[in-house]
Amino acid sequence: MSVFSAKSFRNHEQVLFHQDPASGLVAIIAIHDTTLGPALGGCRFWAYEDEDAALDDVLRLSRGMTYKAALANLSFGGGKAVIMAPRDGTKSPALFRAFGQFVNSLGGRYITAEDVGTSPADMEIVHAVTPYVAGVADGGAGDGDPSPATAWGVFHGLRAAVAAKLGRSDLHDVHVAVQGLGHVGGHLAQHLADRGALLTVADLDEGRLAWAKRDLGAQVVDVNAIYDVAADVFAPNAMGAVLNDDTIPRLNVKAVAGSANNQLAEDRHGADLAARGILYAPDYVINAGGIINISHEGRLYNREKAMAHCARIHDTLVEIFQRAEQEGRPTNEIADQLAEERIASHAATARNSLRAAVG
Ligand code: NAD
């Protein structure tokens, strides 16, 4: 396995490999950039095909966290952890305790959290070993499920997309095709319905579909048909890579705005969307509500303030949409550039303060 020449390696500050034979833990922590603060990012537990696949995932995801935190104006850097699931796929308390010790050994340079394959209960075990865990019940308010905050941010991001493409400040009769009615998609669909939006929805879960039909007046389509729905907005809230060579030509919408991570199968698909006149709200910008909420956690948690911060995702997207329009470039490229500019500007300010301090 090569690290510095791995395809997703982008000037990561540190990549740490750890194994604990007693518990079966095999894990990697990638710290991409700590210019803005300690690296924050979830811990993924996954049955990777091999070590290269695990390395690629942790490198890619940690970099995404740097950009996400920068564009949400948070004092966090980007990091991520992956645990390679043991052959039998079982998770044990000993494994998460060993992971907690790994996290603790970094002295706070990396703060972990729940992610795909890990649960709040797993993170409680990690938290018993290290304080460097976000999103757990530690006596402060505001902890727990990040999905309502994520959905609130997506809702405001979607409003920005509708304003940019339809010139509308309200959502009455705006038609949204919602893919996935889970923790985030469900809250989002409710916010949209509350504002009079028309919904067409798809999910694998019959119970969620029945709820949307009954309580939100949504139309239901097959999971494979959601890409073909003629609507104003497509809101992906299920899995990644849904914007690809097969789906983009089928989309009959003016904008894409949803919570799913890694929506573009490849970066070039951002340009494909732009070429078709479809406005794309970059995923890591619009779905940052959960991490924004985490940044407010603690004894002084104020839900109103946290939700107002999530709502400012609207303004960040307006800036991205305007720059993309002015420069004739895809929104995903503009978002990356804006994040890099914010990090560079912070680093320059820190350098100048240091120079001033040492005379
Ligand atoms: P979830 O598992 O609660 O919900 C996903 C929903 O999608 C489920 O209802 C599932 O049945 C449905 N689904 C699965 N495959 C589908 C398909 N092919 N077509 C239609 N529906 C399908 O997950 P979640 O927490 O709501 O997260 C949704 C997405 O948002 C994920 O990509 C997640 O990584 C991302 N995200 C979530 C958060 C958060 O706070 N939960 C934060 C940032 C990003």
Which CATH architecture group holds 147-298+305-336? Answer: 3-Layer(aba) Sandwich (3.40)
Which residue CA neighbors atom 30 of ligand 1 most closely?
260
Residue 16 has pLDDT above 70, yes or no: yes
Q: Is 313 in the pocket of ligand 1 (CB under 6 A)?
A: no
Q: Is 185 in the pocket of ligand 1 (CB under 6 A)?
A: yes
Listed residue (47, 130, 43, 61) closest to 89, CA to CA:
47
Residue 299 has pLDDT above 80, yes or no: no
Q: Name 207's Cβ contacts closer than 8 Å, sequence gap at least 6.
A: none
Residue 140 has pLDDT above 70, yes or no: no
Residue 281 has pLDDT above 70, yes or no: yes
Instruction: Average the pLDDT over 257-286 and give the result.
Output: 97
Q: Look at residue 156 in the predicted model and tell me its pLDDT.
A: 98
Q: Is 236 in the pocket of ligand 1 (CB under 6 A)?
A: no
Q: Taking the model in full, what pTM does it have? A: 0.92
Residue 138 has pLDDT above 70, yes or no: no
- Ligand 1 midpoint to CA 344 (Å): 33
Average pLDDT of every residue of the chain? 94
Residue 309 has pLDDT above 70, yes or no: yes
Confidence of residue 351 (pLDDT cuts 50, 70, 90): confident
Q: Is 246 in the pocket of ligand 1 (CB under 6 A)?
A: no
Residue 91 has pLDDT above 70, yes or no: yes
Selected catalytic residue, list 7, 68, 80, 305: 80
Atom of ligand 1 nearest to the CA of 186: 26
CA–CA–CA angle 118, 262, 12 (5° rounding): 80
- Ligand 1 midpoint to CA 66 (Å): 22
Q: Which of 126-130, 178-182, 294-298, 323-327 has the lowest mean pLDDT?
A: 294-298
Output the 3-class SS for the chain.
Answer: CCCCCCCCCCCCCEEEEEEECCCCEEEEEEEEECCCCCEECCEEEECCCCHHHHHHHHHHHHHHHHHHHHHCCCCCEEEEEEEECCCCCCCCHHHHHHHHHHHHCCCCCEEECECCCCCHHHHHHHHCCCCCECCCCCCCECCCCCHHHHHHHHHHHHHHHHHHHHCCCCCCCCEEEEECCCHHHHHHHHHHHHCCCEEEEECCCHHHHHHHHHHHCCEECCCCCHHHCECCEEEECCCCCCECCCCHHHCECCEECCCCCCCECCCHHHHHHHHCCCEECCHHHHCCHHHHHHHCCECCCCHHHHHHHHHCHHHHHHHHHHHHHHHCCCHHHHHHHHHHHHHHHHHHHHHHHHHHHHC
Q: Is 160 in the pocket of ligand 1 (CB under 6 A)?
A: no
Residue 143 has pLDDT above 60, yes or no: no
- Ligand 1 midpoint to CA 290 (Å): 13
Q: 147-298+305-336: same fold as 14-66+76-127?
A: yes
Residue 38 has pLDDT above 90, yes or no: yes
Residue 68 has pLDDT above 80, yes or no: yes
Which of 239, 242, 263 is the pocket-test mutation for ligand 1 (most atoms within 8 Å of CB)?
239
Which residue CA neighbors atom 25 of ligand 1 most closely?
183
User: Among this protein's residues, is 80 annotated catalytic?
Assistant: yes
The residue ranges of every structural domain in the chain are 14-66+76-127, 147-298+305-336
Q: Domain 14-66+76-127: which CATH class? A: alpha beta
Neighbours of 194 (CB within 10 A): 11
Q: Is 82 in the pocket of ligand 1 (CB under 6 A)?
A: no
Q: Look at residue 353 in the predicted model and tell me its pLDDT.
A: 80
- Ligand 1 midpoint to CA 125 (Å): 25
